[in-house]
Structure 1
Amino acid sequence: MHYRTQDGHGLKHNPFKAIVAPRPIGWISSRDAAGRDNLAPYSFFNGVADSPPMIMFSVTGRKIGRGPEVKDSLSNIRETGVFAVNIVSWELKDAMNLTSGGYGHEEDEFALAGLEKADCVEIDCARVAAAPATLECRLWKEVSLPKASEDTDNAVILGSVVATHIDESLLTDGIFDLEKFHPVARCGYKDYAVVRELFQMTRPGGGDAPNLR
């Protein structure tokens, strides 16, 4: 089949998120100017550069006031200019899912999900203590995207990674070992995926240096 976006897909559910899959989950922790913490997962997330390290995630939600439909992550980052990206392991999948609900601004998702907080080092923000890794980020740029209506936000957040936390038990011969903690990814519909097996390939020309920078 083929369809033009403006005409619609005609299927029971939109296939877009299943086509662009799997997607790593950016479990974003942020703190507002009054010191209130927020934690929420975003599946339109990825690294965009490694030297210097940069990440992106996108946010869509109502932009007026505070409440379940307003993305507190975006409001907080606009206020403070910092946030942290926590990596989701298999063991943390249920806690991550719980924090995806539409809660009021006064709700602390760390407490709601029973997650221990740890302090970031370079920025004023909490992080998930049990996360396999956390990236401390400063806002580099917010890019506005086309949006469905004037009362919504649709934006890409680009962040500079200023510090990194890694659970040392997950290092194997100096390599961050995904098979030790099984990262969770988002697919389409209600589907998720988990990394349980890795395979390696060598780029044309031989050698592994380009892959292991």
Structure 2
Amino acid sequence: MLIDFDGLDPKLRYKLMCGAVIPRPVAWITTISPEGVVNAAPYSFFNVFGEDPALVVVGLGHKAEEPKDTTRNILATGEFVVNIPALSQIGDMVDSAAVYPADRGEPEALGLKLAPSARVAPPRLADCPVALECRKITGLTFGPTRELLIGEAVALQARDGLVDPETLRFDWQGDFPIARLFADRYARLEEIEPHPIPKPKP
């Protein structure tokens, strides 16, 4: 079966791409407005893309007539936090995708606990196991509804016991973050096996 993307409605392209590229990590992004309102919103067009600099890339989508709070806040302040949600937080994370007015932040509306960041102004979500504190490097605009945000992670905060302080290795102990699938579907990561890269065959 061949599906040619030329001439295909963008909503159908979105549906196909989200169904094909799974699982995806979720960036539960916190930002702060110039007026001091803390915003939290989930994005699954997200990943890390390098270590020097420590690159974070997020696909920001918004309505053509007005950017979302996340985009507007990052444009104004240049800072954001990528919180990595645990499976136990899926209800609050999905609830934060609802459209709230700009003067009412999701943490306040949903009772999400915040904690101060170390290197940036926006706070992190205290109950998330990991948070990457980020500063915007640049944004690439692709039409009125899509922007690629490229940021640099300047600090990582992790739940106590998650990272070995000597080796800096993670030990999730089976409690892995949320995996995004398609439509309203999410998944639990299980049965993970190690597969080290082998030496070339003779």
- TM-score by structure 2 length? 0.89
| RMSD of aligned residue pairs (Cα, Å) | 2.0
Provide the C-alpha distance between the structure 2 equivalents of 1:196 and 1:39, rounded to a whole number of angstroms.
Answer: 27
Instruction: Tell me which residue corresponds to 1:40.
Output: 41
Q: What does the per-residue CA deviation read over 1:175-202, in whole Å, with 9 as the maximum and x for residues that have no partner?
A: 2123442210111122111213321011
In structure 1, runs of 5+ residues without a counterpart are: 207-213
2:95 is aligned with what amino acid? L
Provide the C-alpha distance between the structure 1 equivalents of 2:84 and 2:63, rounded to a whole number of angstroms.
Answer: 26
Instruction: Tell me which residue corresponds to 2:32.
Output: 31
Instruction: Tell me which residue corresponds to 2:86.
Output: 89
- TM-score by structure 1 length? 0.84
Residues 187-196 or 159-168, more deviating: 187-196
Provide the C-alpha distance between the structure 2 equivalents of 1:141 and 1:130, rounded to a whole number of angstroms.
Answer: 29
Inter-CA distance 156–185: structure 2 relative to 1 (3 Å threshold): same
Secondary structure of residue in 1 paired with 2:193: coil
Shift of 1:29: 0.3
Q: Is 1:29–1:85's contact at 8 Å kept on the other side of the alignment?
A: yes
Shift of 1:100: 0.9
Secondary structure of residue in 2 paired with 1:171: coil
4+ residue stretches of structure 1 with deviation over 4 A?
A: none
Provide the C-alpha distance between the structure 2 equivalents of 1:176 and 1:203, rounded to a whole number of angstroms.
Answer: 19
1:102 is aligned with what amino acid? V
Shift of 1:45: 0.3
Shift of 1:36: 1.1
Q: Calculate percent identity across the aligned residue pairs.
A: 28
Secondary structure of residue in 2 paired with 1:202: coil
Shift of 1:153: 3.2
Shift of 1:55: 0.6
In structure 2, runs of 5+ residues without a counterpart are: none
Inter-CA distance 179–15: structure 2 relative to 1 (3 Å threshold): farther
Shift of 1:97: 0.6
Provide the C-alpha distance between the structure 2 equivalents of 1:63 and 1:122, rounded to a whole number of angstroms.
Answer: 32
Which of 174, 179, 201 lines up with 1:185 in the alignment? 179
Aligned residues: 195
